[in-house]
Amino acid sequence: QSALTQPASVSGSPGQPITISCTGTISDLGTYNLVSWYQQHPGKAPRLVIYEDSKRPSGVSNHFSGSKSGNTASLTISGLQAEDEADYYCCSYAGSSTWVFGGGTKVTVL
Amino acid sequence: QVTLRESGPALVKPTQTLTLACTFSGFSLRTSGIFISWIRQPPGEALEWLALIDWGDHKYYNTSLKTRLTISKDTSKNQVVLTMTNMDPVDTATYYCARFNDNGDYFDYWGQGTLVTVSS
């Protein structure tokens, strides 16, 4: 049950797109289409922004999108906004009724 | 309106047992398909999934922490309780409870979290 691998930080200017990667193994991302992504502002609880690899919950801005290829999932924020500055975590089912999170990515809006 | 709230001690001593409660509203653990999970986050670090319990009282644990964790539910009180034995300073973290939606495998509602510090 090793943590999924995410870049420690990603930055971009307002209006630019950024992509955060999340790399797992054949045992988790590579087998299940069950990746979710969470946004966490400082001092706050995480908030779901993507589930089932690419689905967006109601109320979440359409400038968040998700995808997956093989053992790597990606979260793209198109048109970066100041309020998007936060930490982002991926999460995947890891088999045997266990779940694993990524190490987190700090997004900075320049 | 779905809400979850964690409660428990803010400070525990090394080797002690931690007991946390998650009190929720807006749904029932008697309902098929309802799950509650515990997740923690050490200061400045990443989220870590700990345990999950479902409406049928099936329980699932983080493999690495399984021997120290017990999750249980009190349906009449709308509560889920997590106990963690033999606490160590490395267990210092914010502990969150969250509702898990198995129709897509995601944590859709979270409590605000409770910070637990392990120190003598």
pLDDT digits (tens, 9 = 90+) for A21-55: 999 988 888 888 889 999 999 999 999 999 999 99
Contact B110 A102 (CB under 8 A): no
Q: What is the pLDDT of residue B31?
A: 87
Query: Chain A: residue nearest B101 by CA?
Result: A51
**Contact partners, residue A18, CB within 8 Å, separation at least 6:** A10, A11, A12, A76, A77, A80, A107
CA atoms within 13 A on the CB side of A17: 10
Beta bridge partners of A11: A108
Q: What is the pLDDT of residue B8?
A: 97
Strand order in the sheet with B3-7: B3-7, B18-25, B79-84, B69-74
For A101, the closest of B46, B106, B113 (CB atoms) is B46
Q: Residue A1: is its pLDDT beyond 70?
A: no
Interchain contact A1–B (C-beta under 8 A): yes
Kindly report the average pLDDT of chain B as a whole number.
96
B63-117 pLDDT, tens digit each: 999 999 999 999 999 999 999 999 999 999 999 999 998 888 899 999 999 999 9
Q: Residue A107: is its pLDDT beyond 80?
A: yes
Q: What is the pLDDT of residue A36?
A: 97
Kindly report the average pLDDT of chain A as a whole number.
94
Q: What is the pLDDT of residue B103?
A: 85
Q: 4-43 in A: which are within 8 Å (CB) of B?
A: 32, 34, 36, 38
Mean pLDDT, to the nearest integer, of B54-69? 96
Position A2 confidence tier, pLDDT thresholds 50, 70, 90? confident
Interchain contact B76–A (C-beta under 8 A): no
Contact B49 A100 (CB under 8 A): yes
Calculate the CA dihedral of residues A76, A28, A52, A102 and round it to 10 degrees.
Answer: -40
